[in-house]
Amino acid sequence: MHAVERTKAFLKAAFPGGARLYRRVRKAQQALGARTRGMGVIFSDIYRNNLWADPESVSGRGSTLARTEAIRRELPAVLQSVGARSLLDAPCGDFNWMRHVDLRGVEYTGADVVPELVARNLRTHGDRGRSFVVADVTRDRLPRADVILCRDCFIHLSFRDIHAALANFKRSGSRYLLATTHVSVSENEDTRTGGWRSVNLQSPPFNFPQPRQLIVEDAELGKCLGLWSLAELEVGRRSVATR
Ligand SMILES: C[S@@+](CC[C@H](N)C(=O)[O-])C[C@H]1O[C@@H](n2cnc3c(N)ncnc32)[C@H](O)[C@@H]1O
């Protein structure tokens, strides 16, 4: 047998199902036209090296069960209140807390820019009515959903990338955005993508209106999830220069 054939046979025997999983991830990536270079490199590095250094979740401390009590409790009712049949969790991270949420009757799609994380989620949590795709929320075509959940993402993105993601969410034709906002922040600061700081979506340069609903995740930090209709959000108008 030729060396390449031998290697293929070995890999097939050593990792049964591995080729199928790889093809599924590639297909999902291609379907969404994922172009994940810059963004993918930054967050893949964080993932591979567990730079958010939490023993429970590679998505960091904010994604532990202890820190997600409020959202796990309140998310089903919020979805129900707007008649949601589909949820795009963008980004989904490692699905650590979401796997405990009752999503009966809701088609779930988790999207993340880190291909290895998406492959892991597909392997361990992929199911009927629950899919995972590789996508950069700032630029890749996203599936239309009744609700896009964007939790703990904008805190890591530059103003420019947040604006791009918001425009992309609108472009998807989705109905609602449920996004992390820190109501205690009076003045937003820009950061490099991959860094961290709190963001208040109702302050410049985003100027969101009052949210239709607010889930308070941490009253002390002013960390909340606000629900907005995407149709009523004016995105793309920047009141400050972006990096
Ligand atoms: C702090 S984690 C939060 C994950 C999840 N929302 C949660 O609540 O557990 C941030 C995630 O955002 C992903 N991410 C960052 N920028 C992204 C982008 N532009 N497109 C898609 N995913 C992105 C990272 O790979 C990481 O998994």
| Cβ–Cβ < 8 Å for 214, 226 | yes
Residue 195 lies in a domain: yes
Residue 76 lies in a domain: yes
Tally of domains within the chain: 1
* Closest residue CA from atom 4 of ligand 1: 93
Contacts of 44 (CB under 8 A, 6+ apart): 113, 114, 115, 116
Mutate to test the pocket of ligand 1, among 36, 59, 140 (most ligand atoms within 8 A of CB): 59
> For position 6, what pLDDT does the model report?
62
Residue 14 lies in a domain: no
Residue 70 lies in a domain: yes
Backbone angle region of 180, left / alpha / beta, with phi > 0 → left and psi within -120 to 50 → alpha: beta
Cα–Cα nearest to 62, from 224, 194, 201: 224
**Cα(203) to centroid(ligand 1), Å:** 22
Residue 20 lies in a domain: no
Low-confidence ranges of the chain (pLDDT < 70): 1-12, 14-37, 236-243
Residue with tokens 């069960």, as numbered in its chain: 65
Name every protein residue with a CB atom under 6 angstroms from any ligand 1 atom.
39, 43, 59-60, 62-63, 91-93, 112-114, 117, 136-138, 151-153, 156
Residue 237 lies in a domain: no
Counting from 1 in the atom list of ligand 1, the atom nearest the Cα of 150 is: 6
Task: Give this prediction's pTM.
Answer: 0.85
State the residue range of the domain holding 184: 32-232
Tokens of 137: 């929320």
Residue 171 lies in a domain: yes
Q: What is the pLDDT of residues 192-229, one digit of tens each?
A: 999 999 999 999 999 999 999 999 999 999 999 999 99
How far apart CA 88 and CA 148 sit, in angstroms, is 5
85: domain CATH number is 3.40.50.150
Residue 3 lies in a domain: no
Tokens of 180: 């992390």
**Cα(129) to centroid(ligand 1), Å:** 21
- 112: phi then psi, degrees, rounded to nearest 5: -150, 155
* Closest residue CA from atom 11 of ligand 1: 93
